[in-house]
Structure 1
Amino acid sequence: MPLHAENFQVNPESLGPGTEVGSWRVVERLGVGGFGAVYRVEDLARPGEFYALKLALRPGDARAEREVTLLMVKAVHPNVVRFHACGRWPHPRTGSLYFVMDWVDGWPLDTWAEEVNPTFRELAQAAGKLALAFHALHGAGVRHRDVKPVHLLIRRADREPVLIDFGIGDYVGAATITEQPVPPGTLHLRSPESLRFHRANHGRPGARYEYQPTDDLYALGVSLFRVLTGHYPFPPHLPPDMLYLAIEGQTPPAPADFNRRTPRALSDIIMRLLAKKPQARYATGAELHAALMSAVSFGNPAAWEASLFEWEDAAGTESPSGDDARQRIRRPEWPTSSSTPPAPRLVIAPSLPFARRLARGDVKASEQEPPPVAPPRQQRLRSRVPVVPVLFVVVVGLAALGAWLLEFGPVSSAKGSAPLSDVVPPPAPFREVAPKEALPEAVPVTAPPMVEAIAVAAARAATLTKEDAPVMKESKPHASALKKSGMKAMGVAGACLNLACSGPQVRPAPPPEDCPPGADEAMKELGIRLGDAQVFVFDVIKGEPHVITVREGNAIVRLGDEWKGLRGGGLLYGKLHLADRVYGRFTWLRVNKGRTYPVCIELLSGDRKHGLERKPGSDADSAIIWTTGRANPVDRFE
């Protein structure tokens, strides 16, 4: 028998099953917040169809009215919960406002991470879609202001992320509701700048914090940190004053520093989201999306296909859903110290002549160079002895080393003899890093993702950078030193120098490579046929086509709408390879509607030749090319 409001005292936060609210029947209560209660309801006109109904706890609540305006008009997006109907109950004029939305059967973002244990690729794709949703909302003047894992749902049916609960949301032009300096929210998800404003303006009448898109993106970064590590960057249980100080002044450990499975590029992106200054974060959701897609595209596929956590046996324990859990994630422990290995050091044999001079103190203090400072994000080879800056001493030492090797064989040390390859450590293995635009402090966040000279890609492991390679210039002291060492030693020293500072060479063409998973299906869905090459232009180009200078690394090109599935065109994300020609391989396509698809598209010149022609004036590290060409869909990069 249906329950009617006139038969009992209405309590909006505790409606029983069977209660009829307008044309909806309550099935169960989903949750209660500070301003409203949410119920799963059934449509009386269509039995079996279920929705979510939110009922304001108090009649005339301006928050509920603003939330209806947001969902019905302002915050319309495929990854935002969809609005269906609204009304007042129990009286159509004086009752509490209610509105009906999709019932999203899914997991909160952190619960999804711990129960499903998805791959890093799946997490990056979900985060990228949320980033585009925020980009669209912020562009419409909407601020969510309560971003946290429980409001970021992953729908069970299709694993799509859905943003819910705009209860304290706001939009440009909306009336002010509260009298507080900062809007309501969850303390451990507030941005550092909002806390600074609150501290500086507490008690000042009329002071209002202007919430920015970077506040929402900061809270998204906190949520993703929680997902990747099982911890919040700043413990919510701290006393408020300590939590204030931590958020404003402390930098948490990077996710990759204690969840070692995390790709470094993803860890860097999240740390940029948590930057203390809003100018150092991504300015828009579109920038965040581009950084995530680039990181996935250019990273080690095996690392991105790994699950977020390790599984461990949990037989006999109860899962959050109430079932007997056979497995559960192994939550990483909060790090107590850094375990980053130290930079490799160059060990120089103590028997070298100039090393003996240094050990005896024969070299004047004024001739000795102070210890070098390692630049950020690079590993430098360091010596156990001071380095003499005068270049001829380096040449003399190398020449003497060559002669000594010819006379006595392998380098000797206190631990016995070892080949030279054991004394000079091999280059550090390639570490996956975020694209330049994804790193904190790398570039101003207002800068476009590419400039006319495209950012240089990370150097290959076996290649020394120009900064690492010594600069050699012929001069009389060098020549005399070599002459004294003999022609035999000069030949060996020359070989050593060539190994250390060989000039940049034109790289070979990239090897064959498989397309990313799902590219074939996505291109079919978009109506992109193999071999159907269409015109592209580099995304930064304005005006008529001309020539530009590019470097090896990440690139973005813009497509027209020639392919039938691309109404309004789209952006291709990929990488340029410099060889005899400039080869482009693009693995992600973002259409103007905001969706992102894996693709497999290579660049052809205007006359449909493989790769783009290098124009006169190109060198080994850069190429001058025409700004347009053809984007050719393939089933494998050859």
Structure 2
Amino acid sequence: MRTLLRLPSGLFIDGWHVLKELGNGGFAVVYLAEKNGKRCALKVARHRQASGDEKQTHARAKRELTVLSMLDHPNIVALCGHGYAEAGNFYLALEYVDGWTLDEWKERKHPTFHEILRVFVKIAAALAYMHSRGILHRDLKLVNVLIRKSDGEPIIIDFGCATYEQAADLTESGLPPGTDRFRAPEQFKYLREHREEHRAKYAFQVADEIFAVGAMIYELLTDPRPTEERPRETLNSPFDPPPPPRARNPRVPEALSDLVESMLSRDPASRPVDTDALHRELAELEAHPGADYQALAHLPSEQRRPEQPNVSEPVEQHAGRWGKLRALGGRVGAVVRRSGNVLAASAIAAVVLGVAVALWFRPQTPESVAEPIVATSPTPPTAAPDMSPLAPAPMVGTVPTPAPVSEEGSTVKTPPPEDPKEARRQKTSSGSDMRKVVPIVCSLAAGCTGVPVKPDAFTCPEGSQRAMEELHWTGREQFSLVLDDRHDEDADIWLRPGDTVVGIVPKGVTPSQAKLAPPGTQFLGGKVYVWPEKTASGRPGRVVVKYERVKLPRQDEVPVCFVVDVGALELKDGNAKTANGTAGFIERYWRP
């Protein structure tokens, strides 16, 4: 396979003088280049035409040329030219934007809610323009929007995953290209329901694009440090929606929180009907004169990396518990305000009081105190497997008849929802409000069945198996790793059911592993299960961690099926103590 060699500084391509490398993705490498005093971003496809190009990077670059040739908008990156490098790799010359990615802008400029809305009003307008021309971006995320330093204008970039009406299908897998964290939940639901249909392909819609925009806003409203690489709450579980933004950050204005919550709805019909409607709703909030919209989304001090708490001090022992109660109170308050049901409010208050007493008197391990609550999310037993590539067997019940599936270049038209905006905000009944609160309370109380304990059996999805074959993970290889990269390799650590951890391969692994998973390899999206059944070796229980993605050094992350299944050293209050330095297996078929 002929792949693109990295271009050295000083090289000339069609008169473009290569100055330095700007970025390196799965489909192309981007360089800063200059020609006749004008700078551009030179995006060079990784492969030549007909060169064993499994990801079809040449075809995607040609499609990106077609897409950008159809667009002319001040908030969409401009096309400046195209051609071929000396080795035969196709390139695009794109407008060079000297700016920050959205997450970098959030951390460095400390924007107000009004300033965040101003940015997304323009993003929504650009998307509405794009969709009116039958074009879908399909990879909207924080790093694919730049804020220009000179004037603060947002610019949507990277159309490598974009498509348009009647475009040829370039993807063999069931889902279109994109970034899993920003995929709409219905994509994972579709993949699960059609897992046995090898030719079934999900038809990407405007509703998917609106979900991605909602996920971007959610990250900016709730996370003071969005650039920091760490486990985060799942946003697109088909079963368990994330808490409203206002519950995670009480500074968020209520109307803005409600809009974002609707954009992240599990039901596509409950989201804004299209990006035109989204633009109008965002513009209405941007024009709001309230002082709460002029407030900073996060105080600058919150965006500094916090120091590890000193768990030896008695005052810190209960801080985590009351922090959980405050977060719970925010979510309960939002539910009660929306329900207007006095009886429901009284019932919720009684449950919260019970949890408060339980949390105060329940002993905690030091690790559970030190870990911030934002690192975990309450997830029902079926949600975590469904969200990861380690999908369990299909749910018992009738599988709906598959709808006709269009080619990858699907229509951008979506049917309007039955309820208008106001009805959407008011349709939640007190019964459904109670169902939202119960998992929250369960996740805080010890021994609740809402926290995943025993993992389900699974068959590794076809897409993950194909990715592992490309990594030459063809057997049931065993890899050494550090289970949770926040702790030392030789430490014994406490883990809670439902935790999300990142594993990492340490130095000193065997030569055979170093060829396949070298030191520095990261195993991402690890879901923790604690199985309190005595093992054959006499351990009090088992700890199972299912990792859903892997990122090898200097490579893109890909979906995999990798499981660590070890005996627990000790169990306490549903948590498990285990050795952090351990090993796991590549799994294609796994049974508990």
Give TM-score, length-normalised by structure 2: 0.51
Partner of 1:422: none
Are 1:277 and 2:274 an aligned pair?
no
Partner of 1:509: none
Please tell me the residue identity of whatever aligns with 2:61.
Answer: A
Are 1:52 and 2:41 an aligned pair?
yes
Partner of 1:230: 223
Superposition map of 1:512-591 within 5 A: none
Partner of 2:244: 254
Partner of 2:317: none
Query: How far off its partner does 1:311 sit?
Result: 2.0
Query: How far off its partner does 1:378 sit?
Result: 3.1
Please tell me the residue identity of whatever aligns with 1:54.
Answer: K
Are 1:312 and 2:301 an aligned pair?
yes
Please tell me the residue identity of whatever aligns with 1:251.
Answer: P
Are 1:32 and 2:28 an aligned pair?
no
SS in 1 for 2:100: strand
Asked if the contact 1:29/1:39 (under 8 Å) is kept, the reply is yes
Query: How far off its partner does 1:265 sit?
Result: 1.2
Please tell me the residue identity of whatever aligns with 2:209.
Answer: D
**Aligned match of 1:72 in 69, 73, 83?**
69
Asked if the contact 2:247/2:327 (under 8 Å) is kept, the reply is no
Asked if the contact 1:225/1:232 (under 8 Å) is kept, the reply is no
Q: Structure 1 277/18 Cα, relative in aligned 2: closer, same or farther at 3 Å?
A: same
Query: How far off its partner does 1:295 sit?
Result: 2.2
Query: How far off its partner does 1:107 sit?
Result: 1.0
Are 1:378 and 2:379 an aligned pair?
no
Please tell me the residue identity of whatever aligns with 1:378.
Answer: G
Partner of 1:125: 118
Q: 1:168-218 CA deviation, whole Å, 9 max, x = no partner?
A: 111111001111111122111111111111111224232111000111110
Partner of 2:147: 154
SS in 2 for 1:14: coil
Q: Structure 1 79/315 Cα, relative in aligned 2: closer, same or farther at 3 Å?
A: closer
Superposition map of 1:133-152 within 5 A: 133-152=126-145
Are 1:180 and 2:177 an aligned pair?
no
Partner of 1:193: 186
Are 1:163 and 2:156 an aligned pair?
yes
Asked if the contact 2:107/2:303 (under 8 Å) is kept, the reply is no
- Gaps of at least 5 residues in structure 1 are 1-9, 318-332, 344-372, 385-443, 457-638
Asked if the contact 2:137/2:162 (under 8 Å) is kept, the reply is yes
Partner of 1:587: none
Please tell me the residue identity of whatever aligns with 1:71.
Answer: L
Q: Structure 1 70/284 Cα, relative in aligned 2: closer, same or farther at 3 Å?
A: same
Partner of 2:104: 111
Q: Structure 1 123/337 Cα, relative in aligned 2: closer, same or farther at 3 Å?
A: closer
Query: How far off its partner does 1:305 sit?
Result: 1.2
SS in 2 for 1:99: strand
Query: Matches of 2:260 and 2:5 in 1, distance apart?
Result: 37
Q: Which moved more, 1:373-382 or 1:219-228?
A: 373-382
Are 1:82 and 2:44 an aligned pair?
no
Q: 1:507-545 CA deviation, whole Å, 9 max, x = no partner?
A: xxxxxxxxxxxxxxxxxxxxxxxxxxxxxxxxxxxxxxx
SS in 2 for 1:286: helix
Query: Matches of 2:345 and 2:275 in 1, distance apart?
Result: 45
Partner of 1:268: 258
Are 1:291 and 2:253 an aligned pair?
no
Partner of 1:206: 199
SS in 2 for 1:113: helix
Partner of 1:414: none
Q: Structure 1 26/272 Cα, relative in aligned 2: closer, same or farther at 3 Å?
A: same
Superposition map of 1:501-520 within 5 A: none
Q: Structure 1 316/249 Cα, relative in aligned 2: closer, same or farther at 3 Å?
A: closer
Query: Matches of 1:145 and 1:298 in 2, distance apart?
Result: 31
Query: How far off its partner does 1:312 sit?
Result: 2.1
Q: Structure 1 126/37 Cα, relative in aligned 2: closer, same or farther at 3 Å?
A: same
Q: 1:80-116 CA deviation, whole Å, 9 max, x = no partner?
A: 100010001115xxx1110101111111111111110
Q: 1:566-611 CA deviation, whole Å, 9 max, x = no partner?
A: xxxxxxxxxxxxxxxxxxxxxxxxxxxxxxxxxxxxxxxxxxxxxx
Query: How far off its partner does 1:238 sit?
Result: 6.7
Q: Structure 1 335/40 Cα, relative in aligned 2: closer, same or farther at 3 Å?
A: farther
Q: Looking at both structures, which has the greater relative contact order when contacts are Cα pairs under 8 Å and sequence separation is at least 6?
A: 2
Asked if the contact 2:224/2:303 (under 8 Å) is kept, the reply is no
Asked if the contact 2:107/2:225 (under 8 Å) is kept, the reply is no
Query: Matches of 2:283 and 2:252 in 1, distance apart?
Result: 15
Asked if the contact 1:258/1:334 (under 8 Å) is kept, the reply is no
Give TM-score, length-normalised by structure 1: 0.47
Query: How far off its partner does 1:307 sit?
Result: 1.4
Q: Structure 1 447/56 Cα, relative in aligned 2: closer, same or farther at 3 Å?
A: same
SS in 1 for 2:238: helix
Larger Rg: 1
Asked if the contact 1:218/1:274 (under 8 Å) is kept, the reply is yes
Superposition map of 1:236-635 within 5 A: 247-298=237-288, 300=290, 302-312=291-301, 337-340=327-330, 376-378=338-340, 445=417
Q: Structure 1 129/314 Cα, relative in aligned 2: closer, same or farther at 3 Å?
A: closer
SS in 1 for 2:201: coil
SS in 2 for 1:338: helix
Please tell me the residue identity of whatever aligns with 2:15.
Answer: S
Q: Structure 1 236/297 Cα, relative in aligned 2: closer, same or farther at 3 Å?
A: same
Query: How far off its partner does 1:376 sit?
Result: 3.8
Partner of 1:620: none
Asked if the contact 1:258/1:335 (under 8 Å) is kept, the reply is no
Asked if the contact 1:283/1:446 (under 8 Å) is kept, the reply is no
Asked if the contact 1:128/1:289 (under 8 Å) is kept, the reply is yes
Please tell me the residue identity of whatever aligns with 2:83.
Answer: G
Partner of 1:424: none
Q: 1:3-47 CA deviation, whole Å, 9 max, x = no partner?
A: xxxxxxx9735211111111201111011111100011111xx22
Please tell me the residue identity of whatever aligns with 2:11.
Answer: T
Query: How far off its partner does 1:120 sit?
Result: 0.8
SS in 2 for 1:339: helix
SS in 1 for 2:114: helix
Asked if the contact 1:248/1:276 (under 8 Å) is kept, the reply is yes
- Gaps of at least 5 residues in structure 2 are 50-57, 307-322, 347-415, 427-592
Query: Matches of 1:42 and 1:97 in 2, distance apart?
Result: 18
Asked if the contact 2:11/2:17 (under 8 Å) is kept, the reply is yes
Q: Structure 1 70/382 Cα, relative in aligned 2: closer, same or farther at 3 Å?
A: closer
Q: Structure 1 379/196 Cα, relative in aligned 2: closer, same or farther at 3 Å?
A: closer
Query: Matches of 1:380 and 1:259 in 2, distance apart?
Result: 25
Query: How far off its partner does 1:336 sit?
Result: 7.4
Q: 1:295-321 CA deviation, whole Å, 9 max, x = no partner?
A: 233451x1111111112299999xxxx
- % identity of equivalent residues: 32
Query: How far off its partner does 1:448 sit?
Result: 6.6
Query: Matches of 1:137 and 1:279 in 2, distance apart?
Result: 21
SS in 2 for 1:69: helix
Query: How far off its partner does 1:254 sit?
Result: 1.3
Query: Matches of 1:341 and 1:146 in 2, distance apart?
Result: 30
Query: Matches of 2:345 and 2:6 in 1, distance apart?
Result: 72
Query: Matches of 2:111 and 2:234 in 1, distance apart?
Result: 31
Query: Matches of 1:315 and 1:128 in 2, distance apart?
Result: 28
Asked if the contact 1:13/1:36 (under 8 Å) is kept, the reply is no
SS in 2 for 1:80: coil
* Count of residue pairs the alignment pairs up: 330
Query: Matches of 2:243 and 2:258 in 1, distance apart?
Result: 11
Asked if the contact 1:128/1:292 (under 8 Å) is kept, the reply is yes
Asked if the contact 1:88/1:97 (under 8 Å) is kept, the reply is yes
Q: Structure 1 206/236 Cα, relative in aligned 2: closer, same or farther at 3 Å?
A: farther
Query: Matches of 1:200 and 1:315 in 2, distance apart?
Result: 43
Please tell me the residue identity of whatever aligns with 1:129.
Answer: K
Partner of 1:632: none
